[in-house]
Amino acid sequence: MAKRTTSQPAADPSVLLGTFITFEGCDGAGKSTQAAMLKSRLDTEGKDAILVREPGGTPIGSRIRELLLEPGASVAPVTEALLFAADRAQQVKDVIKPALRKGKIVISDRFVDSSLAYQGVGRGCGLEPVKNLNDWATGGLEPNLTVFLDMSVEDGLARVAGRELDRIEREKREFHENVRYAYSMLQRIYSYRYITVDATGTPEMVHQRVFHEVSKII
């Protein structure tokens, strides 16, 4: 005779109970700053949140980051797309999905949309192939909310001009204009999860705009 038990059934590992928020935008728009400020704000409010960045965030990802962003490195567009997807696959498996299963808020400094904009359009790899690649890499994981920090290419490049630039930041202005155009397409395609935030002004001003939108879903 089977022994009766009152224990609860094991949680379904495929169920993601948390909230996934991504930051997107062109170089210099302030994604890293705003992602960190949101994490800090949520911490003060007692929310269980983690912050991840791309590329990087895992031991393998850190090594991929060096390959991708090293100034002067010669990386073919398809290789670039594959390396970003490999980094993303590892981070989704090791960090993002485990946190979402536990009900955490995951804040990511870039995600798949960056590859669609930078490699799909900026590098000319094509939106469909890059999307298919990343759907495979992430298991189709999609953000609950994408915060697009909107700033002109000219203003964004002016912001980063005083620091040491990585390989992608050093691209010609035409490349960055194509990336910005790609984001305008992505905002239309994924309008159900995109919000656009004016990225001009002080970091504190932009944060208030961001938090006003984020607070609607958490």
Domain ranges of the chain: 19-214
Cα 129 from Cα 133, distance rounded (Å) = 6
* One CATH from 3.20.180.10, 3.40.1390.10, 3.40.718.10, 3.40.50.300 for 19-214: 3.40.50.300
**What pLDDT does 6 receive?**
40
User: Would you give the DSSP letter of residue 28?
Assistant: T
Q: Write a three-state SS string for 10-48.
A: CCCCCCCCCEEEEEECCCCCCHHHHHHHHHHHHHHCCCC
Is 90 exceeded by the pLDDT of residue 1?
A: no
Is 80 exceeded by the pLDDT of residue 2?
A: no
Per residue in 165-215, pLDDT (tens digit) is 888 888 999 999 999 999 999 999 999 999 999 999 999 999 999 999 999
**What pLDDT does 16 receive?**
86
Per residue in 98-119, pLDDT (tens digit) is 999 999 999 999 999 999 999 9
